[in-house]
Structure 1
């Protein structure tokens, strides 16, 4: 019998479905069970098979006797509200990936770990109540398998910004800066003006009322957690010297970051290009990619790299001010990095 990483998915939203789609194609991973509040598993199959952004799945997910069927494999299902009420232990899951973004599930994940219902839990956002926050290409080498059991895979913005920021900081020492992100709409936003409802805490209203305005007709300026998530994995940097804001854009996919850093060491554009190119040629995972093509946002759909550096806009003013523009697939690209984390974490399992 082959040794595979046995994965459970909690929540079939945009990220949960992307992870499912990636996992069923990966010979190293078996999806053992899925927990999702939607009681209609035929609707689960439908949303897995057909996607407005990424198209039709190249295999077919069906259902039988309250299970999902993929390539002849039967996947357990449940409809529990709380992550710790799911039968992960009975299903013999190694790693649970919580894709709900709900704060209560972060807290309750401790209970299933204490019962040894899973070896590890990964949450696909950036809460504080975890043992370790991991960004591939930044601090994955600091993961401690003996002490880190509840792990954050951070957020899409930090997954893209973090590796580039680390390279610049390690080589030129960042003194100060400002980062602006452009992020596509998310499912909790409104088609028409309404309350700015929270996804993480049910029933709570964001005090950023502008986020309740129509997602399809507005660019909505808002605070961002992107750099706070970066600071968790690069603790030598902080909001005291680097500011940030975000625009929620009326687009369905692909994020971008406009980065300005002032560094302590003298730098040139050629220095930066050589630095990024050297990293690109020697990386073990698809983290950084460079592009000089005249592309627009939708051209980056399906990119598995954490960040694509658009060298058309790469610049250095004087000898210390750096400008970098990044693109990233905030769903597929981010989910690819979660899969990298699953494999990295599982590499420490005795059975894998």
Structure 2
């Protein structure tokens, strides 16, 4: 048999194993609220090829390809356990078992590693928590996709309604069409039908009521059977506590803003300061996409090396706030054509750092250039460190952070030498460290951080909503502190 024959046979064998993984992963998710991860990437509702590619991607960060032949025994072991709601990383199980020298079987090691999610230790499955989207633009529709995708067993977040202004004839059909297909993010994964008579969009079995209103005070959500809901404001029209409080109508318990909050509104970056949210806080902000991109790696660098000062320059994709062609705009430069120009503009991300990292005394400045791409941006984070280090040491540190730390859902790591912006469309991380572009000299480090400013940010928003609603389930094996 030739090498080619051996390679093809090996591929077919791995395809067969990945195919047999799918019903196990699906059953755990539907029946027990268990999400199976591989190095913090969900394997729920993934195809055979996607599962194999996710395993192969481990080579980029861990240095060696992870095979389904290694992870399958751990998945089988999990199906034999009495598991409660949780997230379980079979990539981490395989890695930690490999490093363990006690001679435990896969079944014994797995049972020990996830003991906090089994038997008497497991947490109760939560009642569904209602969610309302106020606004249905770029972020609103992506958050809707994520909420529908994560509906799972129906015991997590449940998207009940979308509030929009009336748009005229066939408004509902047009909005459903925008949810169904997207020029940047592709087709919706599932089926969508429209019930115009009841002003409802049915997406993968989820009935989402479309409510037409020109102002928050016009809506009584209890009239639609909605109670104790979390409302996500995607409009950015109101950013202070007074304005956002107008959303606290009958049926709404909390308000989450998908833009930087002003005044005393807490700006939350999941993974960094989400644990500071007070139980009785009813209004909070998820900050900006750029703030979410820079704060986790900034924290990772500050914790290890100390940071004395820094500057962030974002090369940002254009947004709806800019004009397609030159026309009047209230902001400087943003009136010039977005698809035809690089546009210097301001960013509030640097000033927002102090809200998310109040213990960081370093002064961080920032600026931004909008460029003619529709999605994915890059933040160039230039830091003066408190001690000298080397490029190799920083790379090892950030690679380890992306794999095992509590920030592994926020920080990804890539060493591909030819990576470009479009490669990161659909990334669920807040930012991705580009290993090849990293520069370190003595006490100066320059990090190049890719981020999907639409989808990656939407994932961070959903994580915050999961946390405040009580359906953010623990992860096993527990990340290293």
Settle same-fold status: TM greater than 0.5. Answer: yes
Matched, 1:136 2:270: yes
1:324 aligns with 2:447: yes
Among residues 28, 49, 56, which one is paired with 2:187 in the alignment?
Answer: 56
Contact kept in structure 2, 1:8 and 1:88, CA below 8 Å: no
Spell out, residue by residue over 1:225-274, the C-alpha distance to the aligned partner (whole angstroms, 9 max, x if none): 12122222113447x83221100111100010011111122222232122
Unpaired runs of 5+ in structure 2? Answer: 1-124, 473-481
Question: CA separation in 1, counterparts of 2:244 and 2:238?
Answer: 10
CA deviation string 1:93-151 (max 9, x = no partner): 521001111127863431343x55322110000021454211012111212112x2101
Partners of 1:105 and 1:16 in 2: CA distance: 20
Match of 2:373 among 218, 226, 251: 251
Deviation at 1:3, TM superposition (A): 1.9
Aligned to 1:304: 428
* From 286, 289, 296, the counterpart of 1:156: 289
Separation in 2, partners of 1:347, 1:175: 36
5+ residue gaps, structure 1: 197-204
Secondary structure of the 2:271 match is: coil
Question: Are residues 1:4 and 2:109 paired?
Answer: no
Q: Aligned partners of 1:169, 1:67: CA distance in 2, in Å?
A: 48
Partner Cα distance (1:237, 1:167) in 2:
12
Q: Name the SS of the counterpart of 1:335 in structure 2.
A: helix
Q: How does 1:66-85 map to 2 (within 5 A)?
A: 66-85=199-218
- Deviation readout 1:29-58 (Å, 9 max, x if unpaired): 211111011431111101101111111212
Select 2:437's aligned residue among 313, 318, 336: 313
Residue in structure 2 matched with residue 119 of structure 1 by the alignment? 253
**Bigger relative contact order, structure 1 or 2, given CA contacts below 8 A and separation 6+?**
1
- Residue 217 (structure 2) pairs with residue 94 (structure 1): no
Mapped partners of 2:236, 2:425: distance in 1:
23
Shift in alpha-carbon separation, 1:219–1:139, aligned structure 2, 3 A: same
Give the conservation status (yes or no) of the 8 Å contact 1:130–1:151: no
| 249-258 or 126-135, which deviates more | 126-135
Q: Secondary structure at the match of 2:130?
A: strand
CA distance in 2, matches of 1:130, 1:34: 27
Cα separation, partners in 2 of 1:304 and 1:73, compared to 1, 3 Å: closer
Distance 1:108 1:86, change over 3 A: farther
Q: Superposition pairs for residues 166-205 of structure 1, below 5 Å? A: 166-196=299-329, 205=330
Contact 1:106 1:123 (C-alpha < 8 Å) held by counterparts: no
Question: For 1:104 and 1:280, how far apart are their aligned partners in 2?
Answer: 32
Larger radius of gyration: 2
Instruction: Measure, in 2, the Cα distance between the counterparts of 1:25 and 1:130.
Output: 33
For 1:86 and 1:228, the matched residues in 2 are separated by 35
TM-score by length of 2: 0.66
**TM-superposed deviation, 1:62:** 2.2
Render the CA deviation track for 1:185-217: whole Å, top value 9, x for unaligned: 111211111112xxxxxxxx22x1x11100011
Distance 2:166 2:350 in 1: 33
> What SS does structure 1 have at the residue aligned with 2:365?
strand
After TM superposition, the structure 1 = structure 2 runs for residues 212-251 of structure 1, keeping only pairs within 5 Å, are 212-237=335-360, 241-251=363-373
In structure 2, the partner of 1:46 is 177
Moved more, 279-288 or 175-184: 279-288
Find the counterpart in structure 2 of residue 201 from structure 1.
Answer: none
Give 1:18's aligned residue. 142
8 Å CA contact retained: 2:351, 2:365: no
Q: What SS does structure 2 have at the residue aligned with 1:339?
A: helix
Q: Runs of at least 4 residues of structure 1 off by over 6 A?
A: none
Equivalence for 2:165: 37
Conservation of the 8 A alpha-carbon contact between 1:184 and 1:248: yes
SS at match of 1:20: helix
